[in-house]
Chains A and B, each alone.
Chain A
């Protein structure tokens, strides 16, 4: 879509997969709504199972095209067994917690453990980004009440690439969050668009074989 509205056709593109993890109601869907429509909706309904959005972002004066494919997962614990289905192909995991809810931070720790196990087992790389959301609820000049716990955790977990405080409500740091991701996409991941069709076919075949429709772990 954005492709057509711009004068030149991009020469290279990349599919970059992101998954959002974190406790229910920390604001995962709200962050994505900010990214997608730049809106905030107090009454946004909870996510059941998972939701998917994709966004095309041209960069380098439209020479390159990034296609972000993002899975938004459900926060409730009973759906956790399903989550590997969504981080299986991810390049990047954004782990979200609520800055005024310590329990939600414990859940973030849980997700980072899960991901570490998965990364170790599969010998793959998933970039891990930690996000403390709802920073608008912290009074100006004050800090999150459990900032020490967060800092200690981060210093003990070198696999966390970045940590950001955001607010989906007040639109704080949301575009920075995704800009950083985009800026850090490995140049080698891009492939020329002319070859895309033939290349896609090969990729898809490969994926088909590596995919097992009964792989749900529940």
Chain B
């Protein structure tokens, strides 16, 4: 435990000296940033909130608070309704396991109001941002880690721009393409396991990735240590590697669960039912890192180490699915500015337009196909008619009716030409 005290003292010294370079290069250890007191000071610095940005964000906060007090929430931001629904359901395990030293004695009702306001202010501060379920858990971490609401705002604002912007587009596609990296990483490390994992769409990782693990890992301390590792490395790619590391770390358990459910004969059989694979994969984190697990801190540390190794041995740029990641995604462009956010929004908009055109095109092809079929039918009909007429014309004209037939035939032919 002396190490803990040493690390703590050293970090405090670095923070007191405002030695940003040394903080950013601080080697990762099994304590992370040790405690919430240090986190409150270190996290904003690690996210790049310098003096200039800090005063800008203070102003922005003040301005938005004035708007907030004047408008009703639904005018303030379009997603107010969904935010409210989730805030009402936010205070469970994460909150219950938090040390929450700022908020001792404060009522949950009061915290709910502050959480609602925090989320709404950040959404408003980032034009074109869209709220998603899961963001409320991220915001709760921000609320609990800072002693005043303005600091929570500044932190969450930067976190959103730098680490979450892909998930805040008007649709979910930029997030989905990220998830495909996970099986790709596994493929490079453990092909046999990959064969099981690749059977299902990696949607099982959605909740962990978009909530930065807050929705899946139930222990506030464990999540804090994971966040330390991400921020100390200043690496928005790390969450993907962390997820892959979790899969590999708990592989035995996952396989065991799968065999237990799928195969009562006890034989190892990798041919599992897809729904079962999906469900086991979407549950294994909660199951293994629950609030009841003994020494989860130690496991989390090993998982973080594993994620560092994965990142070193399997660079994202070497993966096939990396091509599909948006140019302005936080995985490709680490700068967390409003400009990049807007560029990503534009990029996503172009994708949406393309999809829409494809859809229309698809519908058009379908329609044309139907038209072609009717055209073929008509031509066949005309052809037969032609043969009949041909035969008729060869006969001596009896009632003078044939010439009318011929006229009709020519009209029909012309109208088909026009149609084409």
Residues of A with Cβ closer than 8 Å to B? 17, 24-25, 43-52, 54, 69, 71, 74-76, 78-79, 81-82, 85, 89, 196-197, 200-201, 203-205, 207-208, 211, 213-216, 218
Contacts and interface: CB of A to CB of B under 8 A. Distances in A.
B201 interface: yes
B119 to A, nearest CB: 13
A48 B85 CA distance: 13
A133 to B, nearest CB: 14
A197 B134 contact: no
B133 interface: yes
A204 B172 contact: no
Contacts of A201: 269, 271
Contact of B271 (A17, A81, A208, A216): A208
Contacts of B171: 78, 81, 218
Nearest to A24: B85
Contact of A78 (B130, B263, B278): B130
Contacts of A74: 133
Given A48-B207, A52-B275, A81 B201 contact: no
B264 interface: yes
Interface of B: 82, 85-86, 89-92, 130, 132-134, 136-137, 170-173, 176, 198-201, 203-204, 206-207, 210-211, 215, 262-265, 269, 271-276, 278-279, 282-283
Nearest to B198: A213
Q: Could you tell me the dominant secondary structure of chain B's interface residues? A: loop
Interface centre among A47, A48, A85, A218 (most CB of B within 10 A): A48
Contacts of B273: 203-204, 207
A17 B133 CA distance: 25
B104 to A, nearest CB: 20
Nearest to B202: A213
A45 B89 contact: yes
Contacts of A203: 273
Contact of A208 (B199, B201, B263): B199
Given A45-B92, A49-B204, A79-B172, A205 B133 contact: no
A164 B16 CA distance: 64
Contacts of B275: 17, 52, 69, 71, 89
